[in-house]
Chain A
């Protein structure tokens, strides 16, 4: 009732002052003021009617006992019910971070929730997949050697303890070299039945951090971590401030990580326990808060880690965006990130003493006859994976997603950190007035496309560049696509003019390519933002 009284008093005060003004002025102005007085009077009348009936509703709700557990009964919605989406019940007591920025690119060809039968014979370890490795690693095997899964293949000359191990057991059949004798691929022909090298299982409870790191490095599992800033291989002598894991992927056609982790609960929990020992800080888990009801995923039950829920659109599932909201990276910090499936691989190593680098790989893309998941060790041969599909020169095979994945040839292999293979059509065709009147659906952030206006109609994308590169013209479009407190356009301009101090001040440390990939997708001027960012990161890294 207090509210009503206050409303009435303030309104009458306002009205009386208006009448005062109206009485003083003359001519046109007074006519206007009189009109507005009528309007205000009408509004006040309706406000009173609504207020009274609202109170009557609330009284009635209380009387019949419907007014339980915070439910609000009344004519008018409460303010918090109008602004922002109401949080579902399962998020009520959790730490939730909500972002309105970002965009989910609607594409056709999402992986069906089914396992595909594939037989992959050839696997490769590719030093180019690893950023921060010295140019030519030392290879310890020769063509014709037999290796078990987990046997060392090569090591980094700057960190000799850092082993890169075989994903499968089999015979080394090829060592492809590139320019200046750089090593491009080390190809293994897999055995029919896999043999695993057995390692001594470290005692999780008692082992020191040094022992754990040594054990992981010698088995080749340290490669699963990435260190930020710069997204490079971790330095063994560094204790990371924190370790971050994102348990959902919002990238276009990305795999459903809960599906890929089915049946791995114990390994994942064990892996998380190891991670808590590797850092001086905490292990943070970013959980998907987009669902309306609590999806029973294996991640919600994990103990010993800090959990944060994230609600929003891509790139909210990127670990970099989550780090920014949980605890941002300052230029002095070093943090590690790791994929969920790789946590389970580490967990399995600790439980069973073997290096089983098998992952669920999502095979996606509208151009494929069958999409789904394939259970294969990393570095699988593309031609073996897609042997049942007709992939021609009119298709592009991407290891990763369409935003930040790498183009691979049919003779190539899946990248080390990728859990997805996407096949899209090449868009090598001319289109009559394609910029103005497109004939087919295409993904876009812009509302000038009917598909976007209708709320995102999925389309089969192709790789046409959709226009030519131009100077930065539009402002503010990157801000809408990057859910971080960063001024992207100013940062890119600072990188282009090589202003190191400004780059650091504007937060280049917090970004890696995948975080700005969506900005690059939506860029009207078709700027290569990911490579601009990488050139800036390279400059900062070289500066030390």
Chain B
């Protein structure tokens, strides 16, 4: 089976000179399916089994629980806005399939656009396709609102990959985190689609001033007949939301009315278990923690960044609690972990090795400032209810500077050690 597949692959290899783009494409897929038969030449004779593909793929594996829950939660939030199927298993098929209808296009568009650009640049530069977008493409759908228009997603991904990455030289060279860059692009270019109270629940449309359920033809035309044939519940167009409904997230509630306003709508347990509106993949805190735990256990993500980021949040949170001047400041610091996307940003965004500080000590400083600045933005800035995206991008820019000072300090320490030992 393996051999016939291999010989098939080897047979269809396009000519490198005649059709270079096809060859680049072929090379990308072939090296994905088969590790090449290259052997070491000069230098070490035996190499570690770890390569960039494997490393990146383990991050994708760590994201899988977030994907599963994100798919479910799109449906869950949609139906709880309508006041239907509040229980976990009630209307399960409706929630899952509705979630899939929302999340699959996000995933496909993000990856087709991003990978397409990567393939094109690999062909232009004449080198192999690099794996950088494997993780970015998995992260981007998770940090977007579920009902984001796909054309906006496509533009933002194209912007992030071309301006953020390829302009700097490709994988490993970018200054800013690609997934966050695409999000921040939407944040500033199309702010109404990614902020406010109306974007975090999919499938609602304002008809005569009332939010009502609205499904596209795929959902009603494809799934409804199938579900009917099983005798299951189906999607119903035009159901109005429950009285007094608001799609506000805990963060926007906290910005307006502090911790009391948050607890009037959500319980802390609800926020921890992810049954809240928000970006697709960040709501379930336990699953994010499990993903982070996997990355830490396998030694893929830096524990220094995660730890110092938590410390930065705790210290800033306690200080803000003591200050207590606005409603948002009275949110107890320990609940900042379960509100919003701090944990997701900590586990998957700040630990991106390319854009984070490179030195061990630099990572501690880098993480601490993300934790501190992110919380300051979250609590003090009324225009931006969530701060991690901006804090991480801000510190991405400063990471080389942090490294510079860490390296200078290291050099000074080395010099003093040398003189000390020379005199001994």
Contact = CB atoms under 8 A, between A and B. Distances in A.
A445 interface: yes
A29 to B, nearest CB: 6
B46 A479 contact: no
Contact of B353 (A396, A448, A461, A475): A475
Q: Which of B33, B43, B45, B57 has the most CB of A within 10 A?
A: B45
Given A474-B55, A475-B356, A507-B414, A398 B45 contact: yes
B130 A470 contact: yes
Given A426-B39, A428-B37, A524-B55, A490 B49 contact: no
B54 A435 contact: yes
A133 interface: no
Q: Which of B46, B417, B421 has the most CB of A within 10 A?
A: B46
A193 interface: no
Contact of B31 (A464, A468, A474, A524): A468
B36 A530 contact: no
Contacts of A403: 44-46
B327 to A, nearest CB: 14
A405 B358 CA distance: 30
B361 to A, nearest CB: 10
A476 B50 CA distance: 15
B44 A467 contact: no
B118 to A, nearest CB: 13
Given A327-B421, A328-B418, A524-B52, A430 B407 contact: no
A29 B5 CA distance: 63
Contacts of B297: 447
B170 A330 contact: no
Nearest to A491: B407
B172 A435 contact: no
Interface in B393-424: 403, 407, 410-411, 413-415, 417-418, 421-422, 424
Interface in B50-94: 50-55, 57-58
Given A435-B53, A473-B172, A485-B417, A526 B39 contact: no
Interface stretch (A153-161, A266-274, A436-444): A436-444
A200 to B, nearest CB: 38
B2 interface: yes
Contacts of B2: 432
Given A465-B38, A466-B35, A531-B43, A436 B48 contact: no
A302 B147 CA distance: 77
A28 B267 CA distance: 12
Nearest to A451: B49
A339 interface: no
Nearest to A527: B43
Q: Which of B2, B51, B418 has the most CB of A within 10 A?
A: B51
Given A467-B35, A473-B353, A28 B332 contact: yes
Contacts of B57: 435-436
B360 interface: yes
Given A430-B35, A471-B170, A475-B356, A396 B45 contact: yes
B42 A468 contact: no
B40 interface: yes
Q: How large is the interface on B (under 10, 10 to 19, 20 to 34, 35 or more residues)?
A: 35 or more
Contact of B421 (A105, A328, A444, A467): A328
A409 interface: no
Contacts of A445: 48, 50
A473 B35 contact: no
Interface stretch (A54-62, A122-130, A162-170, A514-522): A514-522
A251 to B, nearest CB: 11
Contact of B54 (A405, A436, A463): A436
B407 A434 contact: no
Interface residues of A, number: 73
Given A436-B54, A524-B55, A531-B43, A506 B411 contact: yes
A464 B37 contact: yes
Contact of A466 (B48, B403, B422, B424): B48
Interface in A404-433: 404-405, 407, 422, 424, 426-433
Contacts of B193: none
B103 to A, nearest CB: 23
A446 B332 contact: no
Interface in B150-183: 169-173
B299 interface: yes
A345 interface: no
Nearest to B297: A447
Given A327-B421, A470-B172, A446 B50 contact: yes
Q: Which of A252, A476, A479 has the most CB of B within 10 A?
A: A476
A489 interface: yes
B34 A470 contact: no
A327 B131 CA distance: 43
Contacts of A407: 45
A485 to B, nearest CB: 7
A487 interface: yes
Contact of B47 (A29, A422, A465): A465
A463 B47 CA distance: 7
Nearest to B50: A446
Contact of A432 (B5, B38, B132, B259): B5
B195 interface: no
Given A402-B46, A462-B46, A476-B360, A435 B51 contact: yes
Contacts of B293: none
A471 B172 CA distance: 6
Contacts of A429: 37
A422 B360 CA distance: 36
B172 A29 contact: no
Contacts of B52: 467, 470, 473, 524-525
A527 to B, nearest CB: 9
B42 A528 contact: yes
A448 B54 contact: yes
Q: Which of A434, A435, A445, A523 has the most CB of B within 10 A?
A: A435
A134 interface: no
B38 A520 contact: no
B417 A328 contact: yes
A530 B44 contact: yes
A249 to B, nearest CB: 16
A488 to B, nearest CB: 11
A445 B424 CA distance: 37
Given A435-B51, A444-B48, A467-B51, A430 B36 contact: yes
B105 to A, nearest CB: 26
Contacts of A90: none
Interface string A496-520: 0000000001110000000001001
B261 interface: no
Nearest to B299: A447
B281 to A, nearest CB: 22
A529 interface: yes
A108 to B, nearest CB: 12
Interface in A295-346: 327-328, 330
Given A490-B407, A520-B44, A521-B44, A442 B49 contact: yes
Given A402-B44, A476-B302, A525-B52, A471 B173 contact: yes
A432 B34 contact: yes
A467 to B, nearest CB: 3
B161 to A, nearest CB: 16
A196 interface: no
Contact of A523 (B48, B259, B354): B48
A14 interface: no
Contacts of A404: 44
B128 interface: yes
Give the 10 A-B CB pairs with smallest separation, nearest first. Answer: A467-B51, A471-B172, A434-B35, A442-B49, A475-B358, A446-B50, A461-B46, A444-B49, A465-B38, A430-B34
21 contacts: A402-B46, A404-B44, A428-B39, A432-B34, A433-B34, A435-B51, A444-B50, A463-B47, A465-B40, A466-B35, A466-B51, A468-B128, A471-B130, A473-B172, A476-B302, A476-B363, A487-B359, A520-B44, A521-B46, A525-B52, A528-B43
